[in-house]
Chains A and B, each alone.
Chain A
Amino acid sequence: MAFKLTYKPFGERAILIEWPQKIDKSVLKDILLYKEKIQIYNTDFFLDLRVAYNSLLVIYKNSINNFSVEVSKLKDIYLQNSVITRTIFRKWKIPVCYDETFGLDLEFISKEKNISKANIIKRHSQAIYTVYFIGFLPGFLYLGGLDEILHTPRKPSPRLRIEKGAVAIGGNQTGIYPNESPGGWNIIGNAPINFFDVSKSSPCFAMAGDSIQFYPVTLDEYHHIKTLVEAGVYQIESEVFDD
């Protein structure tokens, strides 16, 4: 499907390509396909290609001499129907301990929504989330697909310190804090996994277009997994996944 795209200059060295203003998997797929076409076309000109919900930022190595010339080149690339070497997307299974030790705001959400904690956990862990992109903090996954019943506004004043691995809900989004940081989202659990590993050339296991599913673990299982992660021997379960 071809979308109606807009092209805007973004400083001296970048062009911002925008899709319709909606958060949708079909938009994400189109962005990723376009990104791949640009990469195949020529990587010499481009410093970086950055995906977000409904945009692709094309950053050039040098200043752009003529914006409209570059835009028409990009438009030609978009319309190309050449065979694309398809990226393989995976679904990652992420253990989450929803125990009250971690789930600081489970009680609050349960009262607010008048649903049991067990129901919150069930709804949060049965959904399959799409990784739209990584941003905000190193290793922070922007996930789409949170059950509407779980949508919860951000806290009026942020906590100064949220633990690494905290699984949280902010508005219509859910996410995991990859490192200790301040934050205003509602904390419902903790994942004993590294979402960002500086020692790896590809520091995040997941990428835009992948999927995530959470599964509940007990406090004992949490500590067991954490030990394996710290020893560097834990393998995150995953499967090839394309829906």
Chain B
Amino acid sequence: MIKVLKPGFYSTIQDLGRIGFQQFGVPYSGVMDRKAATVANALLGNDESDAVIEMTMTGATFQFSTNTFIAISGADMSPKLNNQAIQCNKMVAVKFNDVLSFGKLNTGFRCYLAVLGGFNTEIVMNSKSMYKNITEQSVIKKDDDLMIFKDSITNISHHASIRFNTDYINSNIIEVHRGPEFYFLSENQQKALFATDFSISKDNNRMAYQMEETFQNNLKPIITSAVLPGTVQLTPSGKLIVLMRDCQTTGGYPRVLQLTESAINIIAQKFTGNTIRFKLIPQN
């Protein structure tokens, strides 16, 4: 078991999300940066679908009531074990009563904590990903006791390390495909989409990232249709909205771009004031 001493700014349990319930209006959810979460799990030999903790902007503080192994990936939030700095992207042994805390945010925005065997928390619709009105809790709270699958690990068997290039966290190139309504834009508008530095507004969360700049828009709303994580909508007021993992399942704004899977990981590590640039890549 792992006790939450401080929950941090916004920390949730996430796995790869809920698949197959979108016909009921249920969002996918799941880790925002799949690449980082996958690496954290892989370092421990976990399944890639094992649940991890996603911490946003500031880290949480945990106390372990078991011996186990952990791995931390994604944003560098200066992790410390019993106040001693530990490395990201490496398997770390943890002992009974150890305290894991985080400090300064050095790179990125979302940090992942994986534990050997994964977290054993509430499953709703085949997923442990927290979401309001779906799971009982929508964030982790102070004094929560988080269950894990493998309590009482004693033997230290291996020291896994994976070559993991974390450059993507600082990249500002967001690769996209054309969205279904891309061709409704004028040629000039299409060009401007790929020639403008867009900055991330304060309206950014697990549902969507809104861009600060206003983009000339004369498109009519569409008849409500499906949207996906990574869909870029253009609102009547000319704002670009990049939908993220907790986005609703349908929408009525024109869908001008669609992020690639890896671009979603990149933007998930961005926060208010960061700039990005969309780059069109060919469709298969």
Contact = CB atoms under 8 A, between A and B. Distances in A.
A10 B26 CA distance: 20
Contact of A54 (B23, B125, B223): B223
Main secondary structure on A side of the interface with B: loop
Interface residues of B, number: 34
Contact of B249 (A9, A10, A16, A50): A50
A53 B224 CA distance: 7
B19 A48 contact: yes
Given A12-B261, A203-B24, A203-B26, A135 B224 contact: yes
Interface stretch (A58-66, A112-120, A223-231): A58-66
B180 A10 contact: yes
A142 B133 CA distance: 19
B226 interface: yes
Contacts of B124: 198
B215 to A, nearest CB: 21
Interface residues of A, number: 45
Interface in A107-152: 133-140, 142
B263 to A, nearest CB: 10
Nearest to A136: B248
A14 B259 CA distance: 12
A21 B133 CA distance: 33
Contact of A203 (B21, B177, B223, B225): B21
A198 B224 CA distance: 25
A66 B22 CA distance: 26
A208 interface: yes
A140 B258 contact: no
A179 B133 contact: yes
A135 B250 contact: yes
A55 B225 contact: yes
A136 B27 CA distance: 9
A40 interface: no
Contacts of A34: none
Contacts of B22: 48, 50
A221 B45 CA distance: 57
Interface in A10-24: 10-12, 14, 16, 18, 21-23
A202 B179 CA distance: 31
Contact of B25 (A11, A59, A67, A136): A136
Contacts of A10: 177, 179-180, 226, 228, 255, 258
Given A10-B179, A47-B20, 11 more contacts: A9-B283, A10-B228, A12-B260, A14-B228, A48-B23, A50-B226, A54-B225, A135-B224, A136-B250, A138-B25, A198-B134
14 contacts: A9-B283, A11-B230, A11-B259, A12-B260, A12-B284, A52-B225, A59-B228, A63-B284, A64-B284, A135-B226, A135-B250, A138-B133, A203-B24, A203-B125
